Amino acid sequence: QRLDTLITNATVITAADRFVADIGIRDGRIVALGEGLAEGAGPVGETIDASGLWVMPGGIDAHCHLAQPLGDGAVMADDFASGTRSAAAGGTTTVIPFAAQFKGQSLRAAVEDYHRESDGKAMIDYAFHMIVTDPNQTVLREELPALIEEGYSSFKIYLTYDDLKLNDREVLEVLALARREGAMVMVHAENADCIAYLTELLEAQGHTAPRYHAEAHSSIAEREATHRAISLAELIDVPLLIVHVSGPQAIEQIRWAQSRGLRVYGETCPQYLMLTADDLDQDGFEGAKCVCSPPPRDPAAQQAVWEALESGVFQVFSSDHAPFRYEDDKGKKLHGEEASFSCIPNGIPGLETRLAILFSEGVVKQRIDATRFVALTATNPAKIYGLYPRKGTIAVGSDADLTLWDPEARVTVRNDDLHHAVDYTPYEGLELTGRVVMALCRGQVVARDGKPCGQAGDGQFLRCDKPTPARPRGQAKGF
């Protein structure tokens, strides 16, 4: 049978191996992997010579926010069209953004709304996590079990933000539900009362500049909530994933849990490697561009995050892309420059730069090896969120989601060259080594030399299996 595409002389890198091979693609899937495939292949649709290039699984960005409705009327700059276009340009071929429930809303309605929002717009494949903010009896008994069964097998909960947070009793209820139904729970671990207390104190002293955001979101508040979330999950005997971990205090808690055999997973993001709290302290209001939660910390925290990536404390590396414009069309900054830090929407853009940053700063600088890069950016998120082995690896039978890297290319990050709808990148001027020269999603070329070339609507919605890593350890009593 005829191959649609044959990639020759690829240095294939998976989470486990590195080898030179040809990759045969038919009907969007990898159907052959081996040496000298061209000889016996017969006619081939397109041949791509990958000599000198590294071929890795397409990136999976398992934590990004697109077109997410926000309580306070703020809107996200990226919808599924611009967000997935930007992701593809950077080598990401699957995204998992969030269908967010607001309190009082049916979870089913939140998921249906999000399908309407995304239908026909995505250039690459996508699945949904849910955000559960209102775990009432209907949600717990009917909606969540049914949705998990239908392919929405992960959800995020918050321990902070008034309009999102759950109390400890509610956390226990959703953890028990996740255990029964086999879902993966992600938690935003910051202590809400600590942040509210510190925010009031700072604002009362007139400390309202963007840099005070980092003080209000103390690493102690992050550590406490991380410890509490782990304890509640241990009580229920259910796995848990701590998202966007910023530094050593929370890392210690995760390492402690893992060393005791608990199935506690960790995620970190580019901002915790590349930024510090000093980046919030810039001329004028510029520091607002680096406001995210948890905030970036200090150089010692960056070092601790690198060590945790290297040693395996973290399984997942995501962007946490949360796209807000710095200025509106009329040049007005959101809420005005006089606004307190507590009014700045939390989050920074990063879909398109995520892979290049970890490749350059991690792989090229030899802090992590290429197989771990693949594990963190593709294989582990696929496994943890129930998409493996369809996504996240290079194997016969898997989707032909591939990135072709020139490991020596030099690139300078410029927002003008990015494809999101945000008017800045916190990484402006950053010089990186390594570039995705081509990305394929299910065998179709979706980006070339940093430019997207797919079609909106080509991306498919993915239903997620119940993830193996979400299985409890044993039979805890009473559940």
Residues that bind ligand DUC (CB under 6 A): 65, 188, 243-244, 292-293, 320, 322, 346-347
In the complex, least distance from residue 244 CB atom to Zn ion, rounded to whole angstroms: 6
Write a three-state SS string for 218-265: CHHHHHHHHHHHHHHHHHHCCCEEECCCCCHHHHHHHHHHHHCCCCEE
| Nearest Cα to Cα of residue 250 among 233, 235, 261, 265 | 265
In the complex, least distance from residue 381 CB atom to ligand DUC, rounded to whole angstroms: 15
Residue number, 117 or 369, with CB nearest to Zn ion: 117
In the complex, least distance from residue 438 CB atom to ligand DUC, rounded to whole angstroms: 30
Site map for Zn ion, 160-189, x if CB under 5 A? Answer: ----------------------------x-
With CB cut-offs between 5 and 8 Å by kind, which of ligand DUC, Zn ion, none does residue 14 bind?
Answer: none
| Nearest Cα to Cα of residue 189 among 162, 215, 212, 219 | 219
Length of the chain counted residue by residue: 479
In the complex, least distance from residue 346 CB atom to ligand DUC, rounded to whole angstroms: 4
Site map for Zn ion, 343-372, x if CB under 5 A? Answer: x-----------------------------
d(CA 66, CA 279): 25
With CB cut-offs between 5 and 8 Å by kind, which of Zn ion, ligand DUC, none does residue 26 bind?
Answer: none
In the complex, least distance from residue 420 CB atom to Zn ion, rounded to whole angstroms: 15
| Burial tier of 269 (Cβ tally within 10 Å: 0-12, 13-18, 19+) | buried
Residue number, 13 or 221, with CB nearest to Zn ion: 221
Name the β-bridge partners of 266. 242
In the complex, least distance from residue 242 CB atom to Zn ion, rounded to whole angstroms: 10
Residue 267 parent element (H or E): strand 264-268
> Do the Cβ atoms of 175 and 185 come closer than 8 Å?
yes
With CB cut-offs between 5 and 8 Å by kind, which of ligand DUC, Zn ion, none does residue 343 bind?
Answer: Zn ion
Residue number, 293 or 403, with CB nearest to ligand DUC: 293
By CB under 5 A, how many residues form the interface with Zn ion?
4
In the complex, least distance from residue 342 CB atom to ligand DUC, rounded to whole angstroms: 13
- Residue whose Cβ sits closest to Zn ion: 343
With CB cut-offs between 5 and 8 Å by kind, which of Zn ion, ligand DUC, none does residue 257 bind?
Answer: none
With CB cut-offs between 5 and 8 Å by kind, which of Zn ion, ligand DUC, none does residue 419 bind?
Answer: none
Q: Which of 335, 367, 448, 466 binds Zn ion (CB under 5 A)?
A: 335
Q: How many CB atoms lie within 10 A of CB 144?
A: 24
With CB cut-offs between 5 and 8 Å by kind, which of Zn ion, ligand DUC, none does residue 29 bind?
Answer: none
Residue number, 212 or 405, with CB nearest to ligand DUC: 212
d(CA 308, CA 331): 40
Q: Which of residues 419-438 bind Zn ion (CB under 5 A)?
A: none
> Do the Cβ atoms of 424 and 430 come closer than 8 Å?
no
- Our CA angle for 453, 456, 459, nearest 5°, is 95
Burial 301-324 (b: 16+ CB within 10 A, else e): bbebbbebbeeebbbbbbbbbbbb
Which DSSP string corresponds to 289-328? Answer: GG--SSPP--HHHHHHHHHHHHHTS--EE---B----SB-
Residue number, 10 or 100, with CB nearest to Zn ion: 100
Residue number, 154 or 398, with CB nearest to Zn ion: 154
Structure-block tokens of residue 446 = 């979706």
With CB cut-offs between 5 and 8 Å by kind, which of Zn ion, ligand DUC, none does residue 335 bind?
Answer: Zn ion
Q: Which of 320, 352, 361, 401 binds Zn ion (CB under 5 A)?
A: 320
In the complex, least distance from residue 315 CB atom to ligand DUC, rounded to whole angstroms: 17
d(CA 43, CA 35): 17
Place of tokens 């060393």: 259
> Do the Cβ atoms of 187 and 174 come closer than 8 Å?
no
In the complex, least distance from residue 348 CB atom to ligand DUC, rounded to whole angstroms: 8
With CB cut-offs between 5 and 8 Å by kind, which of Zn ion, ligand DUC, none does residue 346 bind?
Answer: ligand DUC
In the complex, least distance from residue 129 CB atom to ligand DUC, rounded to whole angstroms: 10
In the complex, least distance from residue 73 CB atom to ligand DUC, rounded to whole angstroms: 16
Residue number, 97 or 392, with CB nearest to ligand DUC: 97
CA-CA distances (angstroms) from residue 132 to 39, 145, 193, 467?
53, 13, 20, 18
- Give the phi and the psi of residue 150 in degrees, each rounded to 5: -85, 0
Residue number, 244 or 354, with CB nearest to ligand DUC: 244
Structure-block tokens of residue 455 = 């079609």
Pairing of strands 316-317, 264-268: parallel
Query: Under 8 Å CB-to-CB from 467, ≥6 apart: which residues?
Result: 153, 154, 182, 184, 383, 384, 385, 386
With CB cut-offs between 5 and 8 Å by kind, which of Zn ion, ligand DUC, none does residue 380 bind?
Answer: none
Which residues are near Zn ion by CB under 5 A?
188, 320, 335, 343
